[in-house]
Amino acid sequence: MPVIQAQGLTKAYRTYKKLPGFSGALKGLFRREHETVVAANDVTFSINEGELVGFLGPNGAGKTTTLKMLAGLLYPSSGAARVLGYVPWERKDGYRRQFALLLGQKNQLWWDLPARESLELNSKIYGIPPAEFERTVSEMTALLDVKEKLNVMVRELSLGERMKMELIAALLHQPKVLFLDEPTIGLDVVSQKTVRDFLRHYNAQRKTTILLTSHYMADIQELCRRVIIIDRGTIFFDGRLDEVLDRFADFKIVTIQCAEASPAATANLIRYGEVVEQTTASIKLKVKRDRVIPVCKALLDELPVTDIDIQEVPIEDIIRRIFAR
């Protein structure tokens, strides 16, 4: 049985349209114009226990709205959902003790207290025994390399250190379901990798079901086998990450290194594919998948090739093209 089930989740907001200027404000006193904005539209998917699923979409696509409905923070306009057998927006105590929601742009730790005191407060709220609390905090701070920062005021921590402490706070009660909304936003490359390694280890050890949104494709590529892509509130892809390549990228990048070739020899390269980049020593072509092998053979025959490289299109480029479309 799936741990997370969403069936036709829809969330619509009625917003007031104010006309510009003072006259617009006066008109709004007597006659207001409204419009309905659909943040999530018929969102349907299911996630099994232990899955780590990437939830992708451009800004305003409906990712955070969906997560908030699954966490019980928002009541849907229509549709149904169950997480761990509970209806999220009923906010039953049994459910709230088994999930965690981490918003990368929201703080849950007390700003003017050391991180340890906020963690201790959370442990009292969730009824965690002191010995278990110490063991959990020691293990997580070691994995995230912030053990020496436990007694530092939260406001004095760097962004990366603060985000790691937020992650520890979210996982302190060992939830069965974890919703992560941009957990690595604004972090440097080293901190991003540390958080990714921690999440991979935690998911493998605890079998926690994780739904992750991120604009950093390195997060998705390293952590998620399955992705759900949403745009304008509607899901249009749900499947394995490598299927995105097969479905939305019908070409590969062929790069050849060669001794300086004659202009006549390189002038006809367009018949093999789109010339992405060309210098005196290298040529990069975008070639249809089904033509890669014959094109490579032709290039080896026609040009003084010293090296050849074939690569998939970077996943971030594919996702960017999907959103732009």
Residue that has been written with the tokens 């950093």 in this structure: 216
* Average pLDDT estimate for 26-48: 84
- Give domain 250-324's CATH number out of 3.30.70.1400, 3.30.70.270, 3.40.190.10, 3.30.70.260: 3.30.70.260
**pLDDT at 210 > cutoff 90:** yes
Give the tokens for residue 58.
Answer: 């451009």
Rounded to whole angstroms, the Cα distance separating 52 from 221 reads 11
Nearest to 46 by CA among 89, 7, 86: 7
- Output 130 or 321, whichever has higher pLDDT: 130
For residue 318, the model assigns a pLDDT of 75
Give the tokens for residue 261.
Answer: 């070739």
Residue 44: pLDDT band with limits 50, 70, 90: very high
Helix (H, G, I), strand (E, B) or coil at 293: helix
For residue 265, the model assigns a pLDDT of 58
With contact defined as beta carbons under 8 Å apart, do 118 and 169 qualify? yes
Nearest to 291 by CA among 273, 268, 318, 303: 273
Q: How far is CA 257 from CA 272, 273, 300, 306, in A?
A: 16, 17, 11, 6
pTM (2 d.p.): 0.79
Residue 325: pLDDT band with limits 50, 70, 90: low
Residue that has been written with the tokens 């998620």 in this structure: 224
> Domain residue spans in the chain?
4-9+44-246, 250-324
Rounded to whole angstroms, the Cα distance separating 236 from 43 reads 10
For residue 36, the model assigns a pLDDT of 83
Rounded to whole angstroms, the Cα distance separating 14 from 2 reads 33
For residue 134, give the H/E element and its range: helix 130-144
Helix (H, G, I), strand (E, B) or coil at 79: strand
Helix (H, G, I), strand (E, B) or coil at 187: coil
pLDDT digits (tens, 9 = 90+) for 253-277: 888 888 765 565 566 777 888 888 8
Helices 115-125 and 159-171: crossing angle in degrees, nearest 10, is: 20
Helix (H, G, I), strand (E, B) or coil at 40: strand
With contact defined as beta carbons under 8 Å apart, do 177 and 83 qualify? yes
pLDDT digits (tens, 9 = 90+) for 116-174: 999 999 899 888 999 999 999 999 999 888 889 989 898 898 888 888 999 999 999 99
Helices 189-206 and 159-171: crossing angle in degrees, nearest 10, is: 10
For residue 50, the model assigns a pLDDT of 92
Rounded to whole angstroms, the Cα distance separating 316 from 144 reads 26
Beta bridge partner(s), residue 275: 285
Rounded to whole angstroms, the Cα distance separating 14 from 3 reads 32
- Output 263 or 297, whichever has higher pLDDT: 297
With contact defined as beta carbons under 8 Å apart, do 12 and 75 qualify? no
**What is the rounded average pLDDT for all residues in the chain?**
86
The architecture CATH gives domain 4-9+44-246: 3-Layer(aba) Sandwich (3.40)
